[in-house]
Amino acid sequence: YPTVYYRTAHIEPTQSLDVSIPQPFSSTNDLNNIDSAKMPSICLSGRPALYVRYTPKDWHDAQTTNYLTSDKILAESERLRSDAIRLAHTKDEQAIKNNFESSKCLAESIKNIEYWKNELEKTEDKMARKIDDVQFKRRELERVLSEIENPLRITQENLYEREKRQGIDLVHDNAERELIREVDRIQLSQDNLRKMLECLSIQNA
């Protein structure tokens, strides 16, 4: 406390306040004339600490150093804050760019998916029409194969009836040869129709 270590009772002190007092309790110092009522009680163990005193200039220099240090810390904090803001802006810009690129790629992927979806639908329609055609042809072949059964049966019955002739009437004439050829032609047609049905069944599987 300044009132403890500096004289205030005299109007013109002989001791300058701008220098340190190395021996505050010397008989030549005016500190001995200070009212004892103003002196705090000091333990003997704390007396050596009284010999270390600082001037206002020392205090001012220390405060100046503290201010400069605070200014440096503040400047560093501002720099870190600016770097953090710049980094945040950079990350935001990068995120926006990445989002744009992702959206662009996603749009292209959706476009490609739609294209191939349409192509697949077209292919399915073509396959459905082909299947319908195969089914139609198969029904037609089955119908024809069923219809030629009757002519074959009639031709075979004619040959069978001719075998019932007796004597000189049991002749191997042109009519019989034509009936035999007709049976062969019908049976060949049946074989071809059955092969075609097998092929259609394989295509339709």
Taking the chain, what is the end-to-end CA distance rounded to the nearest angstrom? 110
Q: Is residue 70 located within the same domain as residue 44?
A: no
Please name which of 10, 32, 9 lies closest in space to residue 21, comparing C-alpha atoms: 32
Q: Kindly state whether residue 205 falls inside one of the protein's structural domains.
A: yes
| Exposure string for 161-192, b = 16+ CB within 10 A, e = fewer | ebeeeeeeeeeeeeeeeebeebbeebeeeeee
Who's near 141: CB < 8 A, 6+ residues apart? Answer: 193, 196, 197, 200
Q: Is residue 47 located within the same domain as residue 59?
A: no
Q: Kindly state whether residue 132 falls inside one of the protein's structural domains.
A: no
Q: Kindly state whether residue 138 falls inside one of the protein's structural domains.
A: no
Q: Is residue 62 located within the same domain as residue 29?
A: no
Q: Kindly state whether residue 136 falls inside one of the protein's structural domains.
A: no
pLDDT digits (tens, 9 = 90+) for 6-30: 444 444 444 444 444 454 445 455 5
Query: Which pLDDT value is given to residue 41?
Result: 52
> How many residues in the chain?
205
Q: DSSP states of 72-84 as a string?
A: HHHHHHHHHHHHH
> What residue type is 49 in one-letter code?
A
Q: Kindly state whether residue 173 falls inside one of the protein's structural domains.
A: yes
- For CA atoms 11, 14, 20, 24, the dihedral sign is negative
For 105, what's the count of Cα atoms within 13 Å in the CB-facing half-sphere? 6
Query: Which pLDDT value is given to residue 130?
Result: 87
Q: Kindly state whether residue 78 falls inside one of the protein's structural domains.
A: yes
Q: How far is CA 111 from CA 39, 119, 195, in A?
A: 94, 12, 46
Q: How far is CA 135 from CA 46, 144, 198, in A?
A: 118, 14, 12
d(CA 204, CA 198): 10
Contact in structure between 198 and 137 (CB atoms under 8 Å): no
Q: Is residue 77 located within the same domain as residue 98?
A: yes
Q: Kindly state whether residue 134 falls inside one of the protein's structural domains.
A: no
Query: Which pLDDT value is given to residue 180?
Result: 92
Structure tokens at 176: 């019989």
Range of the domain at 22: 2-53
pLDDT along the chain (205 residues), means of 10: 44 47 50 49 52 82 93 94 94 92 92 94 92 89 91 90 80 86 93 90 75
Q: Is residue 152 located within the same domain as residue 109?
A: no
Q: Domain count of the chain?
A: 3
